[in-house]
Chain A
Amino acid sequence: MSRATRTWWKTAIGVALTALMLFPLYWMINVSFTQRPAIRRGDLFPRSFTLDNYAVVLHDQLPYLGTSLLIGFGTVLLTLLISAPAAYALSSLFVPGRRLFNFLLIVAQMVPAVVMALGFYTIYVQLGILDTIPGLIVADATIAIPFGVMLFATFMAGIPRELLQAAAVDGASSWATFRRIVLPISRNAAVTVALFAFLWAWSDFIFASTLNREGGRLRPITMGLYDYIGSQNQEWGPLMATAVVASIPTAILLVVAQRYVAAGVTAGAVKD
């Protein structure tokens, strides 16, 4: 076999494997475009095509989408505000107990969300901030902040020391160095952290379903979707259409920012 034929076969197998892997997503999209009576027939493509399911979604789910955007951006902001300076301190300044921080941040990423939710629930009941957007943002940020600190710290540790020392010699304060040198250089890391913070907040189910169960329209899209699931007579058309709409941020991020995503997945888990 010539080399060209060999790689051609690999591409063919690769396409087949990817198609198999992504089949559930195709199925979701397929059902979302199928008329209600035809859904149970299980056609391999939307033969009875309709946009009605999406009309239902626009009617039912728009407020939840807005809430989800708000929560997503809020979580990104909070995550960046806390993790970037902390990472600067841990990577470039003198902080006692760095090893303890490292351990705590690793454990923080391993604590099951359900355990956090139990604690948060009790605290939020006492504070009266159950079913509020700020409450959910604070909880959602717990998913991203340890990751953010670690990713920023890894990145900032790679900034040449000479650069920071030169700034110090010029009389720049730590704050000025951080703002004018460290932050601009860390732009890529910031994008990755922001991406994941947004995606995790957008996708969150456990915190939303415990801390913001009865927030009415102030609940995120995952709860809007959950309303459909919980109902007695599951309407699969609108359900799948909502699922498709809820997947849009993922799709956009993958198209626009795939390299940042890959950078985030491997961060820290694999060392050179």
Chain B
Amino acid sequence: MSQTTASMPGATKEHAPERRPKASRPRLRRRHVTGLIFAAPLIVYLLLFYAYPLAVNVSMSLRRFTRATYVTGEAPFAGADIYKEVLASPQFWPTVEQTAIFVVVSLVFQYTIGLALAVFFYRNFPLSTVLRGLFLVPWLLPIIVSATTWQWMMDADNGILNRFLGLFGVDPIWWLNADNSLWAVIIANIWLGIPFNLVILYSGLQNISKDLYEAAELDGAGPWRRFWSITFPLLRPVTAITLLLGFVYTLKVVDIIWIMTTGTGKSQTLATWAYGMAFGKGTSAVIKYSQASVVGTILLVIALVMGLVYLAVQRREED
């Protein structure tokens, strides 16, 4: 999760910013042209470097690519066959389940911890701004850096995590082996996602009117009551956006998992599965471009749906 999603203000509304009641026709057309000229580089870029790669991805999922046909480019058309194969493969449903666990558990903890920290930092105290800034660091670091550090901290024999748990008499845990790897990458991913949740929820808190809290305090509502009756309900729109974006980002995570475990064992998610089938070095002798594209296309469809949901949420907020 190393991105933020930005959107344009009022873009969902019908009107263009400068629409005037009686623009004469030729003038209107000239303004169209000017606008399109300024937007042209973006349009070209979107077509060449978004639409085209995505179309290639989808077309690869419909044709049977092997190493040989990949080079010649004459892969036979397979229709939905590869989709059926992927869905029927013994790996598919376990991977979907692991992906669901990865996403849901990560989100629940990222959000809860992020919200708790946002509430904590909300009442300014000495150093609070500096400390809040420091909380951003994990989010801005290259993920490969964080992932290798966690990998070493979770080393079974020499990792600091097991050594710490050992103080309480816990036997060494093989964090990165097949069975535990899902939990290992979830822990690291929660850590990575906390800053994002903290920052967004914090700015959400700032938009809640202080008067409400003062009124509630006068009515004798304690901090707990104030949180559940004011903060939490009023944060709902921000919560919706945070969780939605969190879902999208967590679903597409590859690097943290790949670097810690190369997606082995239970830590395989849909995204790392696709990555591994196409690019995994050493993990499989056969490169399965078409199968990887099938999984990729499934992820693409989910992204499209989430984009629509995002728009719907945004529009409801604007109304």
Contacts and interface: CB of A to CB of B under 8 A. Distances in A.
A89 interface: yes
Interface in B17-59: 17-19, 28, 31-32, 34-39, 41-43, 45-46, 49-50, 52-57
A160 B255 CA distance: 43
Contacts of B144: 203, 205, 222, 225-226, 243, 246
B109 to A, nearest CB: 13
A243 B158 contact: no
Interface string B131-153: 10111111111111110111111
Given A205-B258, A270-B204, 17 more contacts: A10-B120, A24-B153, A93-B35, A94-B16, A102-B311, A106-B7, A109-B6, A110-B248, A111-B303, A115-B274, A119-B53, A205-B255, A225-B148, A247-B145, A250-B142, A266-B199, A268-B8
Query: Which has the most chain A C-beta neighbours within 10 Å: B49, B54, B159, B311?
Result: B49
Given A142-B49, A147-B5, A271-B317, A111 B54 contact: yes
Contacts, number: 356
A116 interface: yes
A147 B4 contact: yes
B72 to A, nearest CB: 11
Contacts of B42: 82-83, 85-86, 145, 149
A82 B43 CA distance: 9
B213 interface: no
Interface stretch (B86-94, B169-177, B222-230, B288-296): B288-296
11 contacts: A21-B138, A22-B134, A92-B17, A111-B300, A122-B56, A125-B70, A150-B7, A174-B34, A243-B148, A265-B196, A268-B4
A243 B56 CA distance: 35
Interface in B228-267: 238, 241-242, 245, 248, 251-252, 254-255, 258-259
A233 B296 CA distance: 33
Interface string A145-183: 111011101100100010000000000001000100000
B146 A24 contact: yes
B24 to A, nearest CB: 13
Interface stretch (A49-57, A58-66, A256-264): A256-264
Please name the 3 residue pairs, one residue from A and one from B, whose CB atoms are nearest each other, closest first.
Answer: A119-B53, A150-B6, A112-B252
Nearest to B8: A153
A134 B155 CA distance: 38
Nearest to A7: B125
A157 B8 contact: yes
A65 to B, nearest CB: 12
B160 to A, nearest CB: 6
A73 interface: no
Contact of A267 (B6, B134, B289): B6
B254 A114 contact: yes
Contacts of B126: 7-8, 11
Interface string A99-126: 1011111111111111111111111011
A123 B56 contact: yes
A28 interface: yes
A22 B28 CA distance: 56
Given A86-B41, A246-B142, A150 B274 contact: no
Contacts of A93: 18, 31, 34-35, 38
Contacts of A267: 4, 6
A107 B304 contact: yes
Nearest to A244: B145
A229 interface: yes
A11 B238 CA distance: 27
B127 A14 contact: yes
A88 B18 CA distance: 12
A250 B141 CA distance: 6
Q: Chain A contact residues: over half helix, strand or loop, or mixed?
A: helix
Contacts of B138: 21-22, 24-25
A17 B113 CA distance: 11
A151 to B, nearest CB: 5
A247 B11 contact: no
B12 interface: yes
Contacts of A110: 5, 248, 252, 303, 306-307, 310
A14 B134 CA distance: 11
Contacts of B149: 24-25, 27-28, 240, 243
Nearest to A251: B137
A91 B3 contact: no
A82 B4 contact: no
A229 B262 CA distance: 11
A90 B42 CA distance: 11
Query: Which has the most chain B C-beta neighbours within 10 Å: A18, A24, A230, A261?
Result: A24
B209 interface: no
B104 interface: no
A38 to B, nearest CB: 11
B121 A14 contact: yes
A102 B18 contact: no
A185 interface: no
A258 B238 CA distance: 22
B35 to A, nearest CB: 4
A37 B238 CA distance: 50
Contacts of B289: 118, 122
